[in-house]
């Protein structure tokens, strides 16, 4: 049964958001990724609908990878997400439409879109032009253009002084996002488990199997953000020896040390089970993924 959670943790975050005096797809990217130190402005408490932000959603949605023009995006859980880019505003005419996780878009709520974050996710968005911040519920995919990293509802955009596009910093609030996920999927609190120590003469557990070795590597994705690459690599460990390779300004997630048969199996699994379009390397050189 869905439930609403305590809002104490979120209230502390909202109190720190600044508001200085003065001032299924639509057509909605991401450039200028990075992290910045933000100036701390004088804070005033925001009057937000906490119940809306932390309510259980109709479903918890991550989704498969997809492309916008020639750029591939891979949705993934990333509680360390902290990126900057250009944000826009969701068109008001989309008021009342269904979001990707089954919610109803409301232009008067603090809502936002993201290409890769799970839906729903709770995030703090800061307008880097004026230092104003807002906490939003990310509940839809988009924007589906490669020039913006996020779109905000008209109400959320107005709260941080946006009249059009603006450069913003987006920081996932880990505790609040985890709480919303648990409320949505109905996950109970995990009870503590006591593990008794092994007696001296007890049988020791078998060692973990040794990873296979081979000439092939399967490249899953490439990111500008190292944290995003590390998060995906952890999930890809189920398929083999997943590592992050830093080349130039990109962080590339690869499953390495595969023989031909295992590489073929991994490629097929990523295509059918993950909706991905992996690449293939042999001894560090690109080869046709269907050549084995």
Considering the domain architecture, whether residues 181 and 222 belong to the same structural domain is answered as no
Q: The pTM is what? A: 0.57
pLDDT at 11: 53
Mean pLDDT on 86-106: 94
The residue segments making up the domain with residue 139 are 8-185
Q: What CATH number corresponds to the domain at position 278?
A: 3.30.70.1070
Largest Cα–Cα distance in the chain? 73
Range with lowest mean pLDDT among 39-48, 111-120, 179-188, 244-253: 39-48
Residue 198: CB atoms within 10 Å: 10
CATH number, residue 112: 2.40.40.10
Q: Do 271 and 160 reside in the same domain of the chain? A: no
Exposed/middle/buried for residue 221 (C-beta within 10 Å: 0-12, 13-18, 19+):
buried
Per-residue pLDDT at 192: 38
Give the model's pLDDT for residue 14: 53
Do residues 110 and 231 share a domain? no
* Tokens coding 109: 């709520």
Assess contact for 177 and 81: CB atoms under 8 A.
no
In this predicted structure, what is the pLDDT of residue 196? 42
pLDDT at 266: 92
**Does a structural domain hold residue 201?**
no
Those residues whose C-beta lies under 8 Å from the C-beta of residue 223, and which sit 6 or more positions away, are 229, 232, 250, 251, 252, 253
281 pLDDT higher than 70: yes
On whether both 12 and 100 belong to a single domain, the answer is: yes
Taking each continuous run of H as one helix and of E as one strand, the counts in the chain are 6, 13
Q: What is the pLDDT of residue 275?
A: 73
* 189-235 pLDDT per residue, tens: 444 333 344 444 444 444 444 445 689 999 988 776 788 888 889 99
């Amino acid at each position: 049964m869905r439930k609403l959670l305590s809002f104490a943790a979120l209230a502390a975050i909202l109190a720190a958001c600044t508001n200085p005096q003065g001032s299924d797809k639509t057509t909605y990217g991401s450039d200028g990724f990075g992290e910045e130190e933000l100036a701390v402005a004088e804070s005033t408490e925001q009057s937000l609908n906490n119940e809306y932000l932390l309510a259980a959603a109709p479903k918890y949605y991550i989704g498969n990878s997809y492309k916008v023009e020639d750029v591939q995006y891979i949705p993934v859980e990333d509680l360390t997400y902290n990126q900057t880019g250009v944000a826009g505003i969701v068109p008001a005419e989309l008021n009342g439409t269904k979001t990707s996780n089954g919610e109803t878009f409301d232009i008067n709520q603090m809502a936002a879109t993201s290409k890769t974050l799970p839906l729903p996710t709770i995030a703090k968005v800061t307008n880097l032009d004026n230092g104003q911040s807002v906490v939003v519920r990310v509940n839809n995919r988009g924007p589906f253009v490669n020039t913006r990293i996020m779109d905000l509802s008209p109400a959320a955009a107005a709260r941080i002084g946006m009249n059009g596009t603006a450069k913003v910093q987006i920081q996932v609030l880990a505790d609040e996002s985890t709480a919303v996920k648990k409320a949505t999927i109905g996950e109970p609190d995990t009870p503590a488990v006591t593990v008794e120590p092994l007696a001296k003469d007890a049988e020791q557990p078998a060692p973990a199997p040794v990873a296979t070795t081979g000439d092939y590597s399967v490249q899953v994705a490439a990111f500008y953000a190292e944290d995003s690459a590390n998060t995906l690599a952890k999930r890809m460990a189920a398929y083999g020896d997943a590592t992050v390779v830093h080349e130039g300004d990109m962080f590339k997630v690869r499953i390495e040390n595969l023989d031909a048969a295992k590489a073929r199996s991994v490629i097929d699994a990523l295509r059918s089970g993950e909706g991905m379009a992996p690449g293939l390397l042999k001894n560090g050189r690109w080869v046709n993924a269907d050549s084995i």
